Every structure is written in C-alpha cells, then in structure tokens.
C-alpha cells in the first residue's frame, strides 16, 4: 500500500508539473498569436483579398485557447492537489474541448499555408494592383489595400513583382490597362529610389539597367513572415497538444485511482 501511495504521489507531482508547463505554454501561445494578429508586416490586405484569411482565424483561436489553457491548468493543479474527482472530471472534459479547438487551429494554419502559393499572389497582384474600375465598394476596398501593400512592399524590400519585373511583361494586368507599356514597362516603385522618393534614373529604370531597377521578386519577402506565422501557430500548437495529451492521460489514470 505504501509503495502505490508513493507511486501516486509521484504521479501527483508529475501532473502538477505538467499543468504548470501547460499554463506557461498557454501564456506563450496567447502572446505569439497576438503578435501574429497584429500583422507587423502589413500583409493582411493581401490575405483579405484572397477571400481566405483562415490563417488569421487560426491565430485568433490560438489567443483564446492560450487563455483557456492557463485557466484550466490552474484548475488542474487544484484538482490534483485536492484529489477531487468532480474537479478532475470537469478539468478533463474542458481540456478535451480546448484540445479540439487547438487541433482545429493547427490544422487550419497548416492547410492555409499550402494554399498560399506564388501563383496565387501573382494572379491577385495582376488583377488588383492599380485597378482603376472596381466592381463595387467591397472590391474597391480590396484593390486599394492590395495596391498600398504592394507599393510599400516593393519600396521597403527593394523588389518588384512576385517573381520579378518580367511578371508585368509576361502577363496582362489591370496596371497595364492604365499605364502604357512604353512608359511603364513595370510600376514606378520597381525603380531604385533616392531619398526624396523619386527614381534615381527613370530612363535607366525603363531600360532595365541593373542597379537602377529592382530585378528580384518579392515572393521571398512575403513567404518568409507568412511561413513563420503559419508554422508558429501550427507547430507550437502541435507541441502543446502532444504535451497536453500526456498530461491528460496521466490525469485520467489518476482519476481512476482517486478515492471518491
């Protein structure tokens, strides 16, 4: 009897430790998801225009799951120390619900990341950048968002187009309708700018002289932060869930051993 007493005391200790870790991970998850939702790189208009911003929904779910994990871990610690079957049962059921939500968030983040291919951004850029005749006010909002985001992106990252300035030559675009090919082989923001925000050498930029225009594409600048966002939500969530799985199994076993 003493031996199994010791065994259960160890289990109790482990469960308390497990719940402490869950609580801390919950705080970390909330913080991480708040960071992603705040959109520090300004890519949200691009995702909004794809009409599929599930990657942001996953981050929002992550915020609430983080809080829930923190609260439930405290409940779990109290339940384990008091060895109260009711508390532990409530804990287990609520944890399973939180588990399901977090699972949804991880899977959504991972699936949406696969959806955001270079071609998707290319088509969206060609369709919406500098579009002059939007269909309705919703379309207008999206095209303005896309145009502003691309302008900022091309200026800050010294890049042009998704794969390069040749995107504007290979395909027709809304930009091409209002800007003639001879005057603007590619948008003005693809030119190397001086401190005042005007091109260093406009003719050099139009000719495509290396050094006067941005010859590399912006896809790396977009995919880097987006990958961090998606994998941060998906894989950190996965790690938390694996740990939670062990703690929950331990709690269930502990529950069967507790005197009612």
Partner 1 sequence: HPHSRPRHPRARTMVPLLLLLLATAHGLVQLSDKPKLAGSNLGGLKTTSTFVLEQPRCVFKDYPITTEIWLVVAIPEAVPDFNNSVEPGTPERAFQEFPTRAHAYMTLNTTLLNYPCPKSPGEITVLRVGSETNCTKDMSRPTCNGPLPGPGPYQVKFLALNDSEPVAETSWSDPITLRTAQQYSSIPTTGNGHSASMIALTSILSILFAILLAGLVAMLVFWGSDACGSSGTFTKTEAVSVRRYNTHHVYEQTAARL
How far CA 140 is from CA of 1, 110, 129, 175, in Å, comes to 74, 30, 11, 15
Q: Which of 206, 219, 223, 225 binds partner 1 (CB under 8 A)?
A: 206
When asked if residue 51 is in the footprint of partner 1 (CB under 8 A), the reply is no
Least spacing, CB of residue 218 vs partner 1, in Å:
15
Helix (H, G, I), strand (E, B) or coil at 159: coil
How many CB atoms neighbour CB 99 within 10 A?
Answer: 18
When asked if residue 242 is in the footprint of partner 1 (CB under 8 A), the reply is yes
When asked if residue 225 is in the footprint of partner 1 (CB under 8 A), the reply is no
Please tell me the distance from the alpha carbon of residue 181 to that of residue 240, in angstroms, as a whole number. Answer: 53
How far CA 178 is from CA of 124, 135, 149, 150, 184, in Å, comes to 17, 16, 19, 17, 10
When asked if residue 234 is in the footprint of partner 1 (CB under 8 A), the reply is yes
Q: Which residues in 174-193 contact partner 1 (CB under 8 A)? A: 176, 180-183, 185
Number of residues near partner 1 (by CB under 8 A): 61
Angle (deg, nearest 10), helices 219-257 and 118-128: 130
When asked if residue 10 is in the footprint of partner 1 (CB under 8 A), the reply is no
Note whether 96 and 247 are within 8 A (CB): no
Identity of the residue, 111 or 200, whose beta carbon is nearer to partner 1 in the bound complex: 111
Q: Which of 38, 138, 172, 196 binds partner 1 (CB under 8 A)?
A: 172
Q: Which of 4, 38, 136, 196 binds partner 1 (CB under 8 A)?
A: 4
Q: Please tell me what DSSP assigns to residue 130.
A: T
Note whether 160 and 216 are within 8 A (CB): yes
Q: Which residues in 96-155 contact partner 1 (CB under 8 A)? A: 96, 99-100, 103, 106-107, 110-111, 113-115, 117, 119-120, 122-123, 126-127
Q: Which residues contact 244 (CB under 8 A, 6 or more apart)?
A: 22, 69, 95, 99
Residues forming contacts to partner 1 in the complex (CB under 8 A) are 1, 4-5, 8, 83, 92-93, 96, 99-100, 103, 106-107, 110-111, 113-115, 117, 119-120, 122-123, 126-127, 165-166, 169-173, 176, 180-183, 185, 203, 206-210, 213, 215, 234-235, 238, 241-242, 245, 248-249, 252, 255-260
């Amino acid at each position: 009897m003493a031996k199994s007493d010791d065994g259960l005391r160890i289990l109790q200790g482990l469960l308390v430790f497990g719940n402490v870790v869950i609580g801390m991970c919950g705080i970390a998850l909330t913080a991480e998801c708040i960071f992603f939702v705040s959109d520090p790189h300004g890519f949200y208009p691009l995702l909004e225009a794809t009409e599929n911003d599930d990657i942001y929904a996953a981050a929002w779910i992550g915020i609430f799951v983080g809080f829930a994990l923190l609260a439930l871990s405290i409940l779990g610690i109290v339940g384990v120390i008091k060895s109260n079957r009711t508390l532990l049962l409530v804990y287990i059921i609520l944890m399973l619900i939180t588990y399901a939500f977090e699972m949804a968030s991880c899977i959504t983040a991972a699936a949406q990341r696969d959806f955001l291919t270079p071609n998707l951004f290319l088509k969206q850029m060609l369709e919406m950048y500098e579009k002059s005749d939007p269909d309705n006010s919703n379309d207008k909002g999206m095209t303005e968002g896309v145009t502003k985001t691309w302008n900022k992106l091309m200026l800050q990252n010294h890049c042009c187009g998704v794969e390069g300035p040749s995107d504007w030559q290979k395909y027709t675009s809304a930009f091409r309708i209002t800007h003639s090919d001879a005057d603007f082989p590619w948008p003005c923001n693809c030119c190397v700018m001086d401190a005042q925000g005007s091109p260093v050498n406009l003719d050099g930029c139009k000719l495509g002289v290396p050094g006067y225009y941005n010859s590399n594409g912006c896809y790396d600048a977009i995919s880097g932060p987006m990958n961090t966002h998606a994998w941060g939500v998906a894989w950190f969530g996965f790690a938390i869930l694996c740990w939670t799985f062990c703690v929950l199994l331990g709690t269930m076993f502990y529950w069967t051993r507790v005197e009612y």
